[in-house]
Structure 1
Amino acid sequence: MRELRELSEETNTNNSNKSRKNRKQRQRKMSVGQKLFQTCNQVFASTHPGLVPSPQHIDMLRTVLAGITQEDVGLKPDMPYFTTSNPRRIPKITYLHIYVCEQFSMGIFCLPPSGVIPLHNHPGMTVFSKLLFGTMHIKSYDWVVDSPPHMQTIVKSSETKAPDMRLAKVKIDADFNGPCDPTILYPADGGNLHCFTAVTACAVLDVLGPPYSDPDGRHCTYYHNFPYSSVDGTSIGEEERASYEWLQEKEKPEKFRVLGKMYSGPKIVEY
């Protein structure tokens, strides 16, 4: 009886070791896109607008993104995505769709030099971005919510149909050189509104959770930005003024062109 029990325990141990070995082999063979998909599937499994993943899940996805290189996704700065035939025209931007579902989306923005993604928001969304290569200027803002009593945060427009201007705090206004660590924007902080300007050809891997959805009220809204001093009666010191700007909703810029294409890397398997 003891011999049978010992044989059973030995068999279970061997099976467990084989299972771990097979799992490690599958992970080694797994494509970058598949690994990113499976991580996002876990991180955003129960997501909904405004719900931020747990710190453990944030770190998990950040680690996966940090390890992805331009070679992993088959991109080079000399590819057609990153060139423009007419330098006097605003260059179009290419978005490579990797995957999208109700919980999250994954894709890569390819920007030629001088390409611009205008100032826009991410309502109720957590956004992970990884600059794979190139130099990009990023300017980002958060809405001012808890302000001192003397600070005005909304300015009514004098025009009947023009949107009001709302006060935002500048979070980032700097150049970044890829590859660099992933950045994370949260639903209400971290620079939820941002603008990208390509100093050189560059590529940005983006993960949104949940993705934009007009039927669900998650619209992509674009904004004009104005200096804080452009409003009469401002009440903060000269040095502080550079940290604040007024934002006003606008229509999607007519010259902003994004060409959508499917990512040509290994196919993602859902299971």
Structure 2
Amino acid sequence: MGIERNLKDGKGGELCEVFDQTNTNDMKSRRNRRHRQWMKMSPVQKLFLACQHVFANASPGIVPSSQHIELLSSILAGIKPEDLGLKPDMPYFTNNNGGTPKITYLHIFECDKFSMGIFCLPPSAVIPLHNHPEMTVFSKLLFGTMHIKSYDWAVNLHAHVSQTETPEKRLAKVKVDADFTAPCNPSILYPNDGGNMHCFTAVTACAVLDVLGPPYSDPDGRHCSYYQTFPFSNFPDGISIAEEEKKEYEWLEEREKPESLQVIVKMYSSPKIVEN
């Protein structure tokens, strides 16, 4: 299908070929027409069509192919704040009322296969540590500086805590603990790797474009869980970890959704996407 060649050549418009399943004598004409259509589309429309293709047969816990991951990453990498009508001086990114900053989520699209949306965070706003059960998540920091701390469960250790003392705590390994400043590459979280549980802290005003496949679904058991953390040294019994590696591990305990978290959901309006 020419996906790898097109991505390596950096010809984003030619990514439309991935949707061309024809095999007739007029294939070249069809491809040229699709190419022209693709070039006229807004970046968010291109992302929407790519998500439809990549997650067409999505199932919980199933990771898209490497080519599909590269496809979505390439499209996300090319999206700029102005493509989505966003500027750092918009009201979404200020905290005029003082207190805990409110986060705005701009809902773009959701179906049973994937969801698309934008988190708008004023300075110091925090999305607390939470998980993405059985999901593959693509995130693009559009502007600003964000501190990200993420974890994966420590599955290769004998992570046992006394059932009589702390049965609800589980050992996790820190995957990322760093500041990121736009422009930067999109990040990808996998169902069991890549930092499936993460926390966002806005160092400056930030906007993050998120694609989740499949999306959260309480009826299907994919609900968002929140966690609090404890140092490894609090419950070290029965686990052998080299001294220099202990700082890479923390205990996570599920908690209720923090009362301080305030997320205002609004519909994304411009540019609009066209559903096929």
Tell me the amino acid that sits aligned with residue 61 of structure 2: G
- Which secondary structure does the structure 2 equivalent of 1:58 belong to? helix
1:27-73 per-position Cα deviation (integer Å, ceiling 9, x unaligned): 11111121111000010010111000011101111101011011111
Aligned pairs for 1:1-271 (under 5 A) are 17-87=28-98, 89-147=99-157, 151-156=158-163, 158=165, 164-233=168-237, 235-271=240-276
State the match for 1:8 in structure 2.
Answer: none
Question: Does the 8 Å contact 1:139/1:174 carry over to 2?
Answer: yes
Distance in 2 separating the partners of 1:137 and 1:58: 24
Question: Does the 8 Å contact 1:155/1:166 carry over to 2?
Answer: no
Question: Does the 8 Å contact 1:144/1:153 carry over to 2?
Answer: no
Tell me the amino acid that sits aligned with residue 77 of structure 2: A
Residues 1:231 and 1:47: Cα distance change in structure 2 (over 3 Å): same
Residues 1:250 and 1:25: Cα distance change in structure 2 (over 3 Å): same
Deviation at 1:239, TM superposition (A): 1.5
Residues 1:18 and 1:235: Cα distance change in structure 2 (over 3 Å): closer
Residues 1:168 and 1:119: Cα distance change in structure 2 (over 3 Å): same
Tell me the amino acid that sits aligned with residue 197 of structure 1: T
Identity of aligned residues (%): 65
Distance in 2 separating the partners of 1:153 and 1:69: 45
How many pairs are equivalent?
252
Residues 1:154 and 1:182: Cα distance change in structure 2 (over 3 Å): farther
Question: Does the 8 Å contact 2:85/2:271 carry over to 1?
Answer: no
1:177-211 per-position Cα deviation (integer Å, ceiling 9, x unaligned): 01210010000000000000000000000000000
Tell me the amino acid that sits aligned with residue 55 of structure 2: F
Distance in 2 separating the partners of 1:239 and 1:146: 18
Question: Does the 8 Å contact 1:81/1:112 carry over to 2?
Answer: yes
- Which secondary structure does the structure 2 equivalent of 1:57 belong to? helix
Distance in 2 separating the partners of 1:106 and 1:157: 42
Distance in 1 separating the partners of 2:163 and 2:95: 41
Distance in 1 separating the partners of 2:27 and 2:240: 68
Which of 18-27 and 123-132 deviates more? 18-27
Residues 1:53 and 1:16: Cα distance change in structure 2 (over 3 Å): closer
Distance in 2 separating the partners of 1:208 and 1:246: 26
Distance in 1 separating the partners of 2:162 and 2:204: 37
In structure 1, stretches of 5+ residues that fail to align are 1-11
In structure 2, stretches of 5+ residues that fail to align are 1-23
Deviation at 1:24, TM superposition (A): 1.8
Distance in 2 separating the partners of 1:182 and 1:143: 22
Question: Does the 8 Å contact 2:161/2:235 carry over to 1?
Answer: no
Tell me the amino acid that sits aligned with residue 198 of structure 2: H
Q: CA RMSD in A?
A: 1.7
- Which secondary structure does the structure 2 equivalent of 1:119 belong to? strand
